[in-house]
Amino acid sequence: MGEPLLSSSPFQGSQPARLWIGTYDLNGTMVGERDVAQLSKWFLAQKTREYDVVVVSLQGTRTPRKTSRAYSGPLEAVVKKCLNLVAEDTSSEYSLLSSCQESGTHLMVFVNSSIPFRITEVEAATVVLRRSTFSEKRGAVGIRAAFNKTTVCFVTAKFSGGFADYDERNREYATIAEGLQFATNLRGIDDHDAVFWAGNFNYRIGLRWDVVMDRIKRAEDEGSEELRVLYDNDQMAVHMRAGLAFSYYTEAVVRFAPTSTFQVGSDAYQTESIPAWTGRILCKPLKAKQVAYDSVGEVRISDQRPVYAAFELEVSPQEKILNRKPVPQTEKQAQPRVEETALGKDDLTLRSPQPPAPKSSVPTVPLEASIRVETWSRDRNLQLTHEFLHEMRNGKYWQTKKHRRRVRVAILDSGIDMAHPEIATRSERIVDTFCPIPGLEDQGNQDKGGHGTHIALLLLQIAPMVDLYIARVFEDAKGITDDYVGCAILHAVNGWQVDVILMSFGFKFWVPSISHTIRVAAFNDVLMFAAASNEGANADIDLAYPARETNVFDIRATDHLGNRYMYNPPWDAGARWTFATLGEKVLSAWTEGQMLPKSGTSMAAAIAAGTGALLLDFSRLPALKGQAPRHLEHVASFDGMRLLLEACSSRTPDNLLYIKPWLVFSKKGFDRGRIANYIDDVLDEHFG
């Protein structure tokens, strides 16, 4: 059979179960006899041998609640007919072992009449992800069985769509992983020897449409290796490595073109949707070899393409074998035998399995993720960070609440890439731009280096409801001057009338002109955050400028455990207030539609500024039940914000105040009244 995609161990003393697993989103298309010829191409694509078990996962089946049960029979009959057309040259036939559906998601398991092992303990279970309508079908289905003594579980689902809705998709994965249970001994998905997921998981590619199409075209001409850039920017691949979804699971490297979204009946992709690998198949086998993973472009029933995978799963030996009498065959036609295809390791390779992430009933979400990165450690702090960001992205405490005025944040950096997919989905939050650099006015705020875009998206992850004002003060790190910075600060204060200014850059020496504008900003109660510097103890100074200004929050970086970042400048271990937060390997937007992990106090300053903006944003909400809080107006002051940031922090062994926003927000359950009282109590210690 050639080099396997996945191999845990060779089979010893037992015959493997040969599995074929496929997934296809019909997108509401009613499948009937007329589609047998097309669907058969899906099952014929890997006809190098017979399979003992065939698992068919369908999403978007046209099954309104009132007629779903009546429709399931014909659908199963169509699939069964396709399978038996494929098996015409043998004396065996496929029969339906189990079938179950929920809200437009259908899972069927067929078995060959000559399977060499016993199948017992067959059971199905479902999970409703959301109340479904005819146009929005949201459900998950699981079917389990024992192959001899080896327990196997198959799961299918259709996750939420939308380019930026990966946090919702991660949440839905967590809901299914925790909530799908079988009646027998209350077994869950993870209580099986082998688990296979096949479905439309709807994760997208984090690149622009034209970049994706260019790579697809190049792959057609030069080979599938050209798809590597797309795979490196695939959201699901990164989320798996970050432990945010499908922990423990493995997926073979995708070497076929994106399977979504096409013009129906055509091989042309839709121009309004970025192509993506939405249909995926993953496994967590005990001992298995994966021998195929591909899509079938000839099947054009819907706007997507079907995907299939083939496995050989080691089954524990058992004395008794299930003997099924062959079903009599009629009018069997002779068909040439297809020679077994060798799959070389250069054609099909596999990512290494993912290390485990902590199980949690609360779903997690990444800062941003669209590239392959090294595995993060799984710990409680990282988990809480992601949970907090999930709550922020959902905007729980903003719903149905009216602000007096949105918080305005000015970012002084290298500009912003408005064409980046993640920025484009948040374009309404970018209110205005400004560029004081002579000769660059015609380029506006277009970010050529990526730093400003990275910072802007990161801040919006923490405080998604603020208004951003972008000032481009340098084209690259070497081109920054005090004149541009001073001009931008005055424009932010007097022109934009912002509440927060973020400066993720630094000078080596004190700059008088900037010092003057900072005093103007402080006089107008503008909160300012700056990066401490990234030169460690080798720097000529202990702290960069303007981070060393007394009216500016200087922010240092840590890893996700709160350990200090190695390039932090020195600090006074006896000082009361030295703030730091996550700044190492932080994923966010970069140039050319990419998502890249970056490290430094710049990233930490953005997270700290976002936390400050979030606290300030909260203080702008109307008073609870007409009772004006005593001290919320002090949130906008330097001393008030310093007290609140301290309340959001825990001290590290190095005496850094490690900012963890959930200490105030998630701890209080996003109850507006309790958070207001808590903030008032914190401020009362100083202003009361």
Domain boundaries, the chain: 6-266+273-313, 406-625
Residue 27, token pair as written in the block: 């997108």
What pLDDT does residue 404 have?
57
Structure tokens that stand for 428 in this block: 């309404």
Partnered with residue 528 across adjacent β-strands are: 501, 552
Among residues 40, 57, 602, 619, the one annotated as catalytic is 602
The enclosing H or E element of 41 equals helix 36-44
Count Cβ atoms below 10 Å from residue 120 Cβ, excluding itself. Answer: 12
The pLDDT value recorded for residue 16 is 87
- Inter-CA distances, 425 with 210, 422, 429, 548, Å: 17, 5, 9, 36
Give dist(CA 377, CA 577) in Å, integer.
28
Q: How far is residue 183's CA from residue 186's CA, in Å, rounded to a whole number?
A: 5
State how far the Cα of 514 lies from the Cα of 512, in Å rounded to an integer: 5
Low-confidence residues in the chain, pLDDT < 70: 1-14, 46-49, 63-72, 87-91, 130-137, 185-186, 286, 318-404, 441-444, 476-480, 536-542, 572-576, 621-632, 665-674, 676, 688
Give the model's pLDDT for residue 91.
Answer: 61
Global pTM value: 0.53
Catalytic annotation present for 451: yes
Contact 224, 255 (CB under 8 A): yes
Give the pairing type, strands 94-102 and 119-128: unpaired
Residue partners of 218: CB distance under 8 A and separation at least 6:
226
One of 52, 232, 234, 413 is an active-site residue; which one? 413
Single-letter residue type at 420: H
Is residue 442 classed as helix, strand or coil in its secondary structure?
A: helix
How many Å apart are CA 339 and CA 445, to the nearest integer?
59
**Dihedral of alpha carbons 664, 668, 669, 673, sign:** negative
The whole-angstrom separation of Cα 288 and Cα 312 is 5
What is the per-residue pLDDT across 242-267, written as a single tens digit (0 to 9) for each? 778 998 899 988 999 999 999 988 99
C-alpha 206/C-alpha 232 separation (Å) is 9
Q: Amino acid identity of 661? A: P
Instruction: Classify 6-266+273-313 by CATH class.
Output: alpha beta
Q: Which of 390, 451, 491, 560 is catalytic?
A: 451
Q: Measured between alpha carbons, how far is residue 461 from residues 483, 565, 585 in Å?
A: 30, 22, 16
Matching residue, tokens 């997108």:
27
Q: Is 403 one of the annotated active-site residues of the chain? A: no
CATH architecture of 406-625: 3-Layer(aba) Sandwich (3.40)
- Rounded distance between C-alpha atoms, residue 116 and residue 110, angstroms: 14
Q: Are 157 and 116 in contact (CB under 8 A)?
A: no
Determine the pLDDT at residue 454.
95
Indicate if 467 belongs to the active site. Answer: no
Closest CA relative to residue 614, chosen from 410, 482, 462: 462
Read off the DSSP letter of residue 526. Answer: -
